[in-house]
Amino acid sequence: MAPKVLISDELSPTAVQIFKDRGIDVTFEPTLGKDKEKLAAIIGNYDGLAVRSATKATEKIIAAATNLKVIGRAGIGVDNVDIKAATAKGIIVMNTPFGNSITTAEHAIAMMMALARQLPEADRSTQAGKWEKSRFMGVELFGKTLGVIGCGNIGSIVADRAIGLKMRVIAFDPFLSEERAVEIGVEKVELPALLQRADFITLHTPLTERARNVLNASAFEQMRTGVRIINCARGGLVDEHALAAALKAGKVAGAALDVFEVEPAKENVLFGLPNVVCTPHLGAATSEAQENVALQIAEQMSDYLLKGAISNAVNFPSITAEEAPRLRPWVKLAEQLGLFAGQLTESSIKGIRLEYSGTVAELNVKPLTAAGVAGILRPLLSDAVNMVSATTTAKDRGIVVEETTRTQDGAFEGYMRLTVVTDDYERSVAGTVFSDGRPRIIQVRDINMEFETAPHMLFVRNSDKPGFIGNFGMLMGKAGLNIATLNLGRDKPGGDAICIVTLDEPMPEPVMAQVRSLPHVVRANRLAF
């Protein structure tokens, strides 16, 4: 059956056609996003939801999305999607961070120019029949210092355009390397230095708790008198009341804002102040940008639903269309290793280590780590954890997740080892994918053995003494339980031994109790995959 996608906002007809051409069953209802009740009533029928900014994918909507696998946002901001709720439910959330980059950067430059020359006020005055030439004395951009807060994709484009205007550009961005700063022609500085030196300050950073109100009363006090502020990124980066006070005090000469803390901004403390330029979140509002992001999200969602490729996801590592087929059996193996270890872990988990050796180490291992961690946690947390939420869930519980890669080591071209660390012990299980594409476990507790997982299995740890196999076989026969496969391994003669059994049906609890009471049995657990 073809995947089903709902488009609940205005999106380019070309994007709708892309879904259709790729074999997706698409429903286009561009006004549905404003009807929360109707959206909640039908969202359970769809595998994908494509939105712009009107649709609010709230916790309630996501709770009703029983089949949803991906939410695609045609644009960069995902403020209208409850990322935490989507992640907890295993829903990939994608955006298109580059489709409107040039448009947004150009809008920031336009706002800076309008602010420098007081164009909106001069326009209103002139069209009112006044000729107030001496009133609108502007400033040149030439030779001025532009401070860029957030020098990622959009910020670097703004910097490039500003350099073309012969401005000096300084940038604050914790993730900007010295090499990258040199490459794009900016001077990397710390935030206090930027605040003290800049004639114009433009923001291009996401709205995180750390970045919220990055320009606050304290920041305005550090700025030089006459500074001008431009925000085309996110409302909430600037403390609007502190900015209004700084404007009234003459500390800040002007501000140009495309975004506001509360949108739609029907009223705001900044409205009506002189030399404040405001636009209604137009950063991405060009026909080229809207077309670009619509086409990109259609392609990205189709690739994920049809091929398993993940690109520009905000809550999961990327997987290219080329990687997906190669990763699929290894992802399955990682999940099986995790499930195996998780079902045998009864102590509180401190850490999880994943080691990748040989050919698998050359792959994109992030999805494998996510699958392995999800497998470990699922027996403890049931459906509350999945590949998308696994690493976040582990972090929230104080579990340290480590991954290492190395070249081929041992007889297998590629294998992975998963180790669970508790206060009392460390236990490992390893596996590989053979040429037939089927995952196999090849080692348990450093004991070599080879088997495939199955829906009904039994793990028995026993002392390597004569009589165990006979007693176990007789018990299974008396209980009427058919053994499909039986795999044995031991660390040394007479030492620790492991027996892995595949059954045709679940083992009843009374029989489990009898297994545990057999001579030489140290431990016995049911396993389900």
What confidence tens digit (pLDDT) does each residue in 100-138 have? 889 999 999 999 999 999 999 999 999 999 999 989 999
Residue in 408, 419, 438 with CA at minimum distance from that of residue 333 = 438
Residues with catalytic function: 234, 263, 281
| The two structure tokens encoding residue 423 | 């206060």
Asked whether the predicted pLDDT for residue 396 surpasses 80, the reply is: no
Give the architecture (CATH level 2) of 101-278.
Answer: 3-Layer(aba) Sandwich (3.40)
Q: How confident is the model at residue 387 (pLDDT cuts 50, 70, 90)?
A: confident
Measure the CA–CA gap between 235 and 244, rounded to whole angstroms: 15
Rounded to whole angstroms, what are the CA distances from 422 to 261, 346, 353, 414, 461? Answer: 45, 9, 12, 27, 19
Asked if residue 264 has a cis previous peptide bond (ω within 30° of 0), the answer is yes
The residue type found at 463 is S
Q: State the average pLDDT over residues 240-261.
A: 97
The pLDDT tens digits for 421-479 are: 988 889 999 999 988 889 999 999 989 999 999 999 999 999 999 999 999 999 999 99
Q: Which residue has the higher pLDDT, 510 or 206?
A: 510
CB of 313 closer than 8 Å to CB of 361: no
Give the architecture (CATH level 2) of 322-453.
Answer: 2-Layer Sandwich (3.30)
Q: Are strands 521-527 and 457-463 parallel, antiparallel or unpaired?
A: antiparallel
Measure the CA–CA gap between 454 and 286, rounded to whole angstroms: 54
What are the sequence ranges of the domains in the chain? 4-98+288-307, 101-278, 322-453, 455-529
The residue type found at 212 is R
Asked whether the predicted pLDDT for residue 272 surpasses 90, the reply is: yes
Measure the CA–CA gap between 438 and 200, rounded to whole angstroms: 59
Q: How confident is the model at residue 53 (pLDDT cuts 50, 70, 90)?
A: confident
- State the pLDDT at residue 411: 72
**Same CATH topology for 4-98+288-307 and 101-278?**
yes
Residue in 92, 34, 40 with CA at minimum distance from that of residue 66 = 40
- State the pLDDT at residue 384: 59
| The two structure tokens encoding residue 124 | 């209103």
- State the pLDDT at residue 383: 54
Task: Please name the residues in contact with 475: beta carbons below 8 A apart, sequence gap of 6 or more.
Answer: 511, 514, 515, 518
Rounded to whole angstroms, what are the CA distances from 33 to 7, 152, 170, 257? Answer: 9, 30, 41, 26
Q: State the average pLDDT over residues 360-372.
A: 92
pTM: 0.66
The pLDDT tens digits for 323-351 are: 888 998 999 999 999 999 999 988 788 89
Q: State the average pLDDT over residues 70-91.
A: 89
The pLDDT tens digits for 464-511 are: 999 999 999 999 999 999 999 999 999 999 999 999 999 999 999 999
Asked whether the predicted pLDDT for residue 35 surpasses 80, the reply is: yes
Asked whether the predicted pLDDT for residue 179 surpasses 90, the reply is: no
Right CATH number for 4-98+288-307 from 3.40.50.720, 3.30.413.10, 3.50.50.60, 3.90.1150.10? 3.40.50.720
SS (H, E, C) 196-240: HHCCEEEECCCCCCCCCCCECHHHHHHCCCCEEEEECCCCCCECH
Q: Which residue has the higher pLDDT, 446 or 202?
A: 202
- State the pLDDT at residue 202: 98
Q: In the CATH hierarchy, which fold is given to the domain comprising 455-529? A: Alpha-Beta Plaits (3.30.70)
Q: Are strands 349-358 and 400-406 parallel, antiparallel or unpaired?
A: parallel
